Structure 1
Amino acid sequence: MKPKYHSAKTVLAPLQRLRSEGITVAQALAGTGLSLSILERPEQHVSLSQELIFLRNLRQVCGDPGIGLYVGSCYPLSLFGLYGYALMSASTMREALKLAYHFVELSFAFYEHDMRVEHGEVVMLMDADDYHRDDVPMLSEREMVATFMILRGLLGDDFVPSRVEFKHPRQVAESRYVEVFGRLPVFSSSRHAISLPMDILDVPMLQCDSDTAALCIERGERIKARLSEENSIVDEVREMLLLRPGYFPGIEVVAEKLNMSGRTLRRRLREHGIGYQKIVDDLRFALAREYLQGTNMRIEQIASLLGYSDPAHFCHAFRRWSGCAPSQFRDGLSLA
């Protein structure tokens, strides 16, 4: 499992740090539908697609291919709220890791997480195939550093893992990775992974508190249940489609990622009064309007971003949605 959405802190924390370095709120939040006042609301959440747009904005504005390292380092364990308190209150590192995986929906994860024992080491694995290849290095580095920040919050700032592995090639200078992890990762590996010595599992947590742990677990279970109820199947499909720009797979592919058959997904969408193609069309129309209103991209570029191999097909679809051609839509905005 991975979270359906994140705490607004995942955007607010790096945004506040970057503002001091000259990045404006408008640059960072363009196209997300978010504002500083929204992010600062108590208990505010952001969808994964909103956060992904935010990260893409940072990569473009900063021109830093290592922006994932930077963002991940903005997440001390204390920022994780209830999730962090639950882990800190556990009796040992073993119990803390059990809670970390049990309540992963309350974390800041973009990826699916797993843990196994290999050759006398604990290996923390993370991976996902939902994202565009251009986003994967940034997201993987953010994910790995955020996970590492949790480990350091539990084990101390001097903790160094026995091994760090990335699937992608090195993105920035070796010194930046060493500064974050305390060691140079292995690049172009077969997996994203952080390895720990087995004896770490028996390390006692300095802030162990059984009463606090029990309260956190009880509340965490309630929040997990509420998250499952609040996020409809329509929301899940939309979010999945938004995570990979230009990629709108058939319903069978989406159903498989949601661990159900295409028939079951069609039935569940019908229960909400909508079909899969209508979701795709609505998303494409909304994105098309945003590109036409907010950018100077050519029609051909917009068509490609929306998954059309032929711009004529996009123009035909847009006319069907709006009653006018994309160029007429844009011209009308300039005259308004």
Structure 2
Amino acid sequence: MTHADSLHGTALTREALDDLDAEVRLRDELQILTNILGALSEVPGLGVEAGLRCHAASPGIWGLSLMSSRTLGDAMSVGMSLAALSFCLCRLSVSADTNDGTGRLVLDPTALPVGIRRFAVERDSTGIQTLQRDLLMNRDAQLRVAYTMARPPEDQVQKYVDVFGVEPEFDAPQNCLIASLESLNAPLPQANQYARSMAEKQAVELLRQRSARAGVAGLLRDLMLASPSPVLSLDEAARQLAVSPRTLRRHLAQEGVSLRMLQEEVREALAEELLLTDGRPVAEIAERLGYSQVSSFTQAFRRWKGVGPQEYRRRAHPR
């Protein structure tokens, strides 16, 4: 692909990407991935190839926070708290099963456009495995992986085996990485509490600097777009931006917006995109947007577009 083709639909240039201080907004990254996957649809395993390039040093200060952590579990804790600085596109959550002594890192891609979900799951899972090996400085470190996708052809399965050392579980109920709880106590060879503390403070400061440059409203829009539901409480939004709720409310007031206004703006944009490109039933779209009743979604959509969601979809895709 040419640079122009891969960057089509964004304001980015190839030269801009050579700038180590350049920042790529979530919507631009999604557009670039859509361009690439559309042009290279016949090439399998692109997410795996991308994930193998996600090394600990790649995400800058976020990676340093992880590398200097005391244990693998400690690294996971700080990594989750500062996930907005990571390479992951999927929404991450952690659960533990005390019955079999395992922990699961769940990768949820449902907030992403349908066409890039598989890529995101492949890249994030492979990238986290690559990251774990970097942190432990052990190329043999393994994670079990489960995917909701059906088992692909044998040659593609081998790609996953090469990364994880074992064949993934396919047709699983959720996409997740599985590790023993005991393994989370593994000490990291580059542990340094002073470096960890400094890196974590710098990471929080980086989030605050982004707020100052891009505006809190812009950061909140990206958070809402990346969340399973655009409905975020003030406390949750403040936590993800590493500020207090009072500070967040003050910044939004200074920018002349409110959390409710942003929520409605993102809901409208997502509703339009899902109706035109996703194909899922209106009831599922309403649930994705955080509406408890389809009728509430329909009323809101009529207010935005002047017609109901079914009619809007029908007009956009006439038979």
Both structures adopt the same fold (TM-score exceeding 0.5)? yes
Task: Name the counterpart of 1:232.
Answer: 216
How far did 1:311 drift?
4.1
- Cα 1:28–1:312 change in 2 (3 A) is closer
Task: Name the counterpart of 1:124.
Answer: 105
Distance 2:209 2:90 in 1: 21
Task: Name the counterpart of 1:303.
Answer: none
CA RMSD, 1 decimal = 3.5
- Cα 1:233–1:191 change in 2 (3 A) is same
Matched, 1:66 2:11: no
Distance 1:46 1:170 in 2: 33
Task: Name the counterpart of 2:70.
Answer: 91
Equivalences for residues 276-295 of structure 1 within 5 A:
none
Distance 2:255 2:33 in 1: 34
Counterpart contact for 1:58–1:67, Cα < 8 Å: no
Equivalences for residues 36-75 of structure 1 within 5 A:
36-63=14-41, 64-75=43-54
Equivalences for residues 247-326 of structure 1 within 5 A:
254=230, 256=231, 258-259=232-233, 272=256, 308-311=312-315
How far did 1:195 drift?
0.8
Task: Name the counterpart of 2:285.
Answer: none
Task: Name the counterpart of 1:209.
Answer: 192
Distance 1:89 1:216 in 2: 8
- Cα 1:160–1:278 change in 2 (3 A) is closer
| Aligned AA (2:217) | I
Question: Unaligned regions of 5+ residues in structure 1, if any?
Answer: 1-22, 245-252, 261-267, 288-306, 315-336
- Cα 1:169–1:49 change in 2 (3 A) is farther
C-alpha distance after superposition, 1:87-131 (max 9, x if no partner): 111122222222111221211121221222212012211214322
Counterpart contact for 1:65–1:171, Cα < 8 Å: no
TM-score by length of 1: 0.65
| Aligned AA (1:90) | S
How far did 1:233 drift?
3.2
Distance 1:128 1:142 in 2: 11
Task: Name the counterpart of 1:157.
Answer: 139
Q: Which deviates further from its counterpart, 63-72 or 186-195?
A: 63-72
- Cα 1:67–1:231 change in 2 (3 A) is farther
SS in 2 for 1:42: coil
Q: How many residues align?
A: 253
Distance 2:113 2:7 in 1: 20
How far did 1:193 drift?
0.8
- Cα 1:95–1:240 change in 2 (3 A) is closer
How far did 1:239 drift?
7.6
Counterpart contact for 2:109–2:121, Cα < 8 Å: no
Distance 1:129 1:164 in 2: 18
- Cα 1:133–1:283 change in 2 (3 A) is closer
- Cα 1:309–1:66 change in 2 (3 A) is same
TM-score by length of 2: 0.68
Equivalences for residues 102-141 of structure 1 within 5 A:
102-118=81-97, 119-141=100-122
Distance 1:192 1:104 in 2: 18
C-alpha distance after superposition, 1:50-82 (max 9, x if no partner): 111211222222232422112122211121211
SS in 2 for 1:46: coil
C-alpha distance after superposition, 1:235-289 (max 9, x if no partner): 6447856x79xxxxxxxx74x2x347xxxxxxx7997369679958x979xx9xx
Matched, 1:78 2:61: no
